[in-house]
């Protein structure tokens, strides 16, 4: 199970930051929680601290949110990043996932539900609010091809797809497979192209249809 000792919350609204702080502290007792109300402060904190968990508001300034998500996800010490927003639409959800978010939570959920979803991260379960899960399924059902596309994948690409579908990060996947990060990234780019997908969530659904994961 993953251990969480430090977390960062990025949200423009003070009351939302305080509520999220209480939720994170309840989900992971003893965790040190920092917060930022603007992108500049958030970038500064990300550069100075090795956070295991980062919650980023995916609001109107989506470009800045995606930049922060990518910074936290691809840093020297990659964090588990979760986008959080007032609502969920296809464009915002897709942008957050492409940037590297592992989950998407809607603020309107009960606090206890958000606590449980965040705790799932420690077991490798991506935290998704029901609205986000439904939107993701709708999007994937429209875009993911039938399993016949898998016939074009090489053995190594199938191996990488299996690891990704289990929620493993690219750097950890490289270590597990005994190859470099760049090699794994190249395999991911090629298998995404062959499967005609653009997000890990879509690739995971494809892996499920193929039968690589349950």
Q: Which residues make up the CATH 1.10.10.10 domain(s) of the chain?
A: 144-210
CB 206 within 8 A of CB 149: yes
Tell me, which fold does domain 6-140 have in CATH? Rossmann fold (3.40.50)
Class of domain 144-210 (CATH, top level): mainly alpha
- pLDDT > 70: what percent of the chain? 88
Residue 19 pLDDT greater than 60, yes or no: yes
| pLDDT (tens digit per residue) in 43-97 | 999 999 999 999 999 976 788 899 999 999 876 667 899 999 998 888 888 889 8
**pTM of the complete model beyond 0.75:** no
Residue 142: predicted pLDDT: 56
CB 194 within 8 A of CB 157: yes
Output the CA torsion sign for 186, 188, 191, 196: negative
Residue 76: predicted pLDDT: 64
Question: What is the Cα 192 distance to its own chain's centre?
Answer: 17
Q: Which residues make up the CATH 3.40.50.2300 domain(s) of the chain?
A: 6-140
């Amino acid at each position: 199970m993953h251990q969480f000792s430090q977390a960062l919350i990025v949200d423009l609204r003070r009351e939302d930051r305080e509520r999220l702080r209480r939720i994170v502290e309840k989900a992971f007792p003893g965790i040190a929680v920092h917060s930022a109300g603007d992108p500049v402060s958030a970038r500064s904190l990300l550069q100075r601290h090795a956070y295991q968990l980062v919650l980023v508001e995916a609001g109107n300034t989506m470009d800045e949110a995606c930049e922060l998500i990518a910074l936290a996800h691809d840093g020297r010490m990659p964090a588990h990043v979760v986008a959080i927003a007032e609502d969920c639409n296809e464009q915002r959800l897709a942008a957050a996932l492409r940037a590297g978010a592992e989950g998407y939570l809607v603020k309107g959920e009960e606090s206890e539900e958000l606590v449980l979803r965040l705790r799932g991260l420690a077991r490798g379960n991506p935290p998704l609010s029901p609205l986000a899960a439904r939107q993701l399924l709708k999007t994937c059902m429209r875009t993911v091809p039938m399993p016949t596309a898998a016939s074009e994948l090489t053995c190594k690409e199938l191996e990488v797809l299996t690891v990704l579908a289990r929620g493993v990060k690219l750097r950890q996947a490289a270590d597990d497979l005994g190859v470099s990060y760049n090699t794994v990234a190249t395999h991911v780019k090629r298998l995404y192209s062959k499967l005609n997908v653009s997000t890990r969530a879509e690739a995971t659904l494809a892996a499920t249809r193929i039968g690589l994961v349950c």
